[in-house]
Amino acid sequence: MFAKPKPKVAVYKFTGCAGCQMELLRLEDELLDIAEKVDIVYFMMAQSNVELQPYDICFVEGSISTPRELEEVKYIRAHTKTLVAFGDCAVTGCIPSIKNWFPQFDLERTVYKDTTPIKSFKVGGIGEYVPVDLVLPGCPPHKNLIFEVITSAFLGIRPKLRMHAVCMECKLRENVCILTSLGKLCMGPVTRAGCGAICPTYGRECEGCYGPMSDANPSALAEEFRKLGLSSDDIVRKFRKYAGTTEEFKEVAGL
């Protein structure tokens, strides 16, 4: 019998905070088993040996914000079977995308005296530049979702990732709705599930860190916020945070 070759897995990072890789490393109980089933061939934060060759699965953390990254993501796409947009930065641009509302030169002058060496452009998810096979949202995506993707890839099946609202998970946890009964400014109704509704469970409003759900209706939620007394500026700030430049949110976020 021939042993099936192990799938080759790579983990890349672009403009981001490495929190998604850290969440991947939170699979402490599973990590050694995973390492037996797959070949981790590129993971700069964790190991110094490097193989540059076709990957079966490539997790890309971070958004694209420089010419160098744009070239690299195209290269990775060309050499990867299954490309995963790993976490909000790679999906929506996440928090760093707040900068997209500022004139680039103003940003540069705020932080640096000499701006000439800076090569930076609008922050965007990798899907803006190359086709993506799988979108894994969250800031960070919960480790169980990461595990689901890895095991599904190994089995060759489609992973079960949720497209519905955080509200579904919140109901399953039998939380009292903090939006309708407490008047808290919860982003749950437009935000994609996957976290297990942790924020409402911890007594605070969802901030929307998994980005928009499918068929989100942000303008209806913005209207609710207005009725609860939120100013237009505050509403813009609410939507201009984790996914402000997405198709779904950009109108309410003020683009």
Partner 1 sequence: MSHGKNVNAQADAKKIEVCYVARVEGQADIRVEVANTGETKAEFAVFEPIRFFEAFLVGRKYHEAHEITSRLCGICPIAHQMTALRAVENALKVKVTHQTRALRRLLALSAWIQSHTLSLYFLTAPDYLGYDGAIAMASKHEDAVRRALRLKKLGNDLGEIVGGRAIHPISAVFGGFTKIPKKEDLTEIRQRLKQEKDDIWTTVSLFNSFKYPEVNRDTDLVAISSDEEYAVNEGRLKSVKGLNVAEEEYRKHIREGEVAHSNTKASTLNGKDFLVGPLARVSLNHQKLSPDAKKAMKELNLQLPSNNPFMHIKARVVEVLYSLDECMRLIDALKLDVAEQPIQATLGTPCEGFALTEAPRGLLYHAYKLDANGIVRKADLVPPTAHNSASIESSLCAYAPEVVKKNQDLQLECEKLVRSYDPCISCSVHVTRLKKGR
Asked whether position 220 contacts partner 1 by CB under 8 A, the answer is: no
Asked whether position 22 contacts partner 1 by CB under 8 A, the answer is: yes
Torsion sign across C-alpha atoms 68, 74, 75, 81: positive
Q: List Cβ neighbours of 7 (8 Å cut-off, separation of 6 or more).
A: 37, 38, 39, 56, 57, 153, 154
CA distance 207 to 209: 6
When binding is defined by CB under 8 A, the residue of 37, 54, 75, 220 that contacts partner 1 is 75
CA distance 96 to 185: 22
Asked whether position 98 contacts partner 1 by CB under 8 A, the answer is: yes
- Closest approach, Cβ 202 to partner 1, in A, equals 4
Q: Which is nearer to partner 1, 67 or 220 (CB)?
A: 67
| Tokens matching residue 50 | 């490097």
CA distance 125 to 111: 23
Asked whether position 110 contacts partner 1 by CB under 8 A, the answer is: yes
Q: Which is nearer to partner 1, 159 or 254 (CB)?
A: 254
- Closest approach, Cβ 65 to partner 1, in A, equals 5
Kindly identify the residues of this chain, within the stretch 129-168, that bind partner 1 according to CB under 8 A: 139-140
Asked whether position 107 contacts partner 1 by CB under 8 A, the answer is: yes
Q: For residue 237, how far is the Cα from the chain centroid? A: 19
254, 101 Cβ separation under 8 angstroms? yes
Task: Read off the amino acid at residue 140.
Answer: P
| Tokens matching residue 30 | 């599973």
- Closest approach, Cβ 19 to partner 1, in A, equals 3
| Tokens matching residue 21 | 């890789």
Asked whether position 33 contacts partner 1 by CB under 8 A, the answer is: no
Q: Which is nearer to partner 1, 33 or 215 (CB)?
A: 33
- Closest approach, Cβ 82 to partner 1, in A, equals 20
Asked whether position 172 contacts partner 1 by CB under 8 A, the answer is: no
Q: What angle do CA 97, 138, 159 make, to 5 degrees?
A: 130
Q: What angle do CA 131, 135, 138 make, to 5 degrees?
A: 140
Mapped onto helix, strand or coil, the DSSP state of residue 16 is coil
Choose the stretch contacting partner 1; rule: CB under 8 A; options: 41-49, 148-156, 214-222, 245-253: 41-49
Contacts with partner 1 by CB under 8 A lie at 13-23, 25-26, 28-29, 31-32, 35, 40, 43-50, 52, 65-66, 68-69, 71-72, 75, 94-96, 98-99, 101-102, 106-108, 110-112, 114, 116-120, 123, 139-140, 195, 198-199, 201-204, 207, 209, 234, 237, 241
